[in-house]
Amino acid sequence: MSDRNDPALEDLYREVILDHYRRPRHKHHVEDPTIANRGFNPVCGDQIEVSLRLADNRLVDLGVEGQGCSISQASASLMAERLAGCTLDEVDQVNAAFKRMMVGDGEIDEDLLGDLEALRGARKFPVRVKCATLAWNTLQEALALYAKRSA
């Protein structure tokens, strides 16, 4: 798909990002989490803490807390909203689709990504990509830690 340069769409994306930055979803620490992990983006100073509870290979509870720039915090909130309740397979699929969107002119899977498409503008700026992917990498690390621990 080609990049759309529709100013109304750009405004909509900006609105989605600001809304999630100002009113972050799933901003809590999961009590007695299956696993928790912290991520830090030294380039921008963004911090993220992910905590989650797994049951039957499903993210039954997902909390994301942090501080930093609007892109990093909006991405964390959008991620939590999208992934809470998902199976680990779905998490992998959405994560892969998000990463594809964020590299160069990678394809955008609108069905899988939904509102996450609002972050597409960040891919034009390598420094911003680090902000946008911080929460995702932190979650991925948490799940890798869990897989290792239960192996």
- Work out whether the CA dihedral 100, 90, 85, 39 comes out positive or negative: negative
Note whether 112 and 93 are within 8 A (CB). Answer: yes
CB of 147 to Zn ion, least distance (A): 28
Helices (H), 47-86: 70-83
Cβ proximity to Zn ion, 129 vs 143, nearer residue: 129
Residues between 105 and 134 that touch Zn ion (CB under 5 A): 131
Whether the Cβ atoms of residue 137 and residue 39 lie closer than 8 Å to each other: yes
16, 44, 60, 84: which one contacts Zn ion (CB under 5 A)? 44
Choose between 27 and 53: whose C-beta lies nearer to Zn ion: 27
Closest to Zn ion by CB, 26 or 128: 128
Task: Show Cβ contacts of residue 68 under 8 Å, excluding neighbours closer than 6 positions.
Answer: 41, 44, 45, 46, 47, 48, 131, 134
Pick the piece of the chain touching Zn ion (CB under 5 A) from 48-56, 60-68, 98-106, 108-116.
60-68
* Position 83 contacts Zn ion (CB under 5 A): no
Chain residues binding Zn ion by CB under 5 A are: 44, 46, 68-69, 72, 131
